[in-house]
Chains A and B, each alone.
Chain A
Amino acid sequence: MTARTAQTQLRVDPIACDGRGLCAEMLPELISLDDWGFPIIRPDALPDHLLGDARATIRACPKLALRLERRPWR
Chain B
Amino acid sequence: MLPGQLPRLLPAGFAAGPASMAGHLARYGPLPIIGRGGRHPASVIEEVNRSGLTGRGGGRFPTGRKLAAVAAGHAPVVVANGTEGEPASAKDKVLLARSPHLVLDGAVVAAEIVGAAQAVVVVHRSVREIIDGAAAERIQSRADRVRVRVVTAASRFVGGEASAVVHWADGGPPAPMARPPQLWEQGLGSAPTLVQNVETLAHLALIARYGASWFRSVGTPQEAGSMLVTILGAVRGPGVHEVAIGTPVAELLSLAGGASAPIQALLIGGYFGSWVDAAAAACLPFSSAGLAVLGLSAGAGAGLVAALPADACGLRETARVAGYLADESAGQCGPCLFGLDAIAWALDQLADGRSRDLRLLRRWLGQVDGRGACGHPDGAVGLVRSALDLFGPELQRHARGWCCGTTSVLPVPPRRQR
Bound-state CA distance A36–B335 (Å) is 7
B372 within 8 A of A: yes
A38 and B371 form a contact (CB under 8 A): yes
Bound-state CA distance A72–B182 (Å) is 11
Stretch of A1-9, A12-20, A22-30, A51-59 lying at the B interface: A12-20
In the complex, the chain A residue whose C-beta lies closest to that of B368 is: A34
A29 CB to closest chain B CB, in angstroms?
19
B332 CB to closest chain A CB, in angstroms?
5
B388 within 8 A of A: no
B335 and A38 form a contact (CB under 8 A): yes
A14 with B338, Cβ < 8 A, contacts A34-B367, A35-B364, A40-B367 known: no
Bound-state CA distance A37–B367 (Å) is 11
B373 and A15 form a contact (CB under 8 A): yes
A15 and B367 form a contact (CB under 8 A): no
Q: Quick one: which of B351-371 are within 8 Å of A by CB? A: 363-364, 367-368, 371
Bound-state CA distance A11–B339 (Å) is 20
B367 and A35 form a contact (CB under 8 A): yes
B333 within 8 A of A: yes
Interface residues of B, CB < 8 Å — how many?
19
CB-CB under 8 A from A18, the residues of chain B are 334
CB-CB under 8 A from B293, the residues of chain A are none
Within 8 Å by CB of A17, from B333, B339, B363, lies B333
Q: Quick one: which of B318-354 are within 8 Å of A by CB? A: 332-336, 338-339, 342
B178 within 8 A of A: yes
Within 8 Å by CB of A13, from B335, B364, B373, lies B373
Q: Quick one: which of A37-66 are within 8 Å of B by CB? A: 37-38, 40
B376 CB to closest chain A CB, in angstroms?
11
CB-CB under 8 A from A34, the residues of chain B are 334-335, 339, 367-368, 371
B333 and A15 form a contact (CB under 8 A): yes
Bound-state CA distance A38–B364 (Å) is 13
A15 and B178 form a contact (CB under 8 A): yes
A14 and B339 form a contact (CB under 8 A): no
CB-CB under 8 A from B363, the residues of chain A are 35
B338 and A36 form a contact (CB under 8 A): yes
Within 8 Å by CB of B372, from A14, A16, A36, A72, lies A14
CB-CB under 8 A from A14, the residues of chain B are 178, 332-336, 371-373
Bound-state CA distance A19–B332 (Å) is 12
A16 with B335, Cβ < 8 A, contacts A34-B367, A35-B364, A40-B371 known: no
CB-CB under 8 A from B364, the residues of chain A are 35
CB-CB under 8 A from B367, the residues of chain A are 34-35, 40
CB-CB under 8 A from B333, the residues of chain A are 14-15, 17
CB-CB under 8 A from A19, the residues of chain B are 334
CB-CB under 8 A from B372, the residues of chain A are 14
Supply 26 A–B pairs (Cβ within 8 Å), ascending by A: A13-B178, A13-B373, A14-B334, A14-B336, A14-B371, A14-B373, A15-B176, A15-B332, A15-B373, A17-B334, A19-B334, A34-B335, A34-B367, A34-B368, A35-B338, A35-B342, A36-B334, A36-B335, A36-B338, A36-B339, A38-B334, A38-B335, A38-B338, A38-B371, A40-B367, A72-B180
Can you name 12 extra interface pairs (CB under 8 A) apart from A15-B333, A37-B334? A13-B373, A14-B335, A14-B336, A15-B177, A15-B332, A16-B178, A17-B333, A17-B334, A35-B363, A35-B364, A36-B339, A38-B371
